[in-house]
Amino acid sequence: MFTSTVGTPVDVGNLTYRSFRPLLKRAGLPQIRIHDLRHTAATLLLGRRVHPKKVQEMLGHSTITETMDTYSHVLPDMQDQDISAIESALTE
């Protein structure tokens, strides 16, 4: 949630067109939605093996199911890492 200088919610349209898009253009980045930053953050956190329950809390999802349904595509390679860890623990 972004707020104005007086603490009221910022109008998303104003934020997008007056600030966010000009910043993207100046940085030479593609045009994305502000909401895409949320997806990027969640994907990066899960990719760094932050527990999905923590990601759920950060995103404000009401259930872990919502988080996992949305971001489960990030987790398949993590499963390989988990299997390797189990194999390593059993062979020590």
pLDDT tens digits for the chain (92 residues)?
Answer: 678 889 888 888 888 999 999 999 999 999 999 889 999 999 999 988 899 999 999 999 999 999 998 888 777 666 666 677 788 888 87
Give first-to-last CA distance, the chain, whole Å: 48
Per the CB < 8 A criterion, the answer to whether 55 and 42 are in contact is yes
Q: Where are the domains of the chain?
A: 1-31, 33-91
Residue 79 has a pLDDT of 65
Q: What is the pLDDT of residue 1?
A: 63
Measuring CA to CA, how many Å separate 58 from each of 54, 55, 70, 74, 85?
6, 5, 14, 17, 27
Q: Look at residue 89 in the predicted model and tell me its pLDDT.
A: 84
CA distance 10 to 25: 21
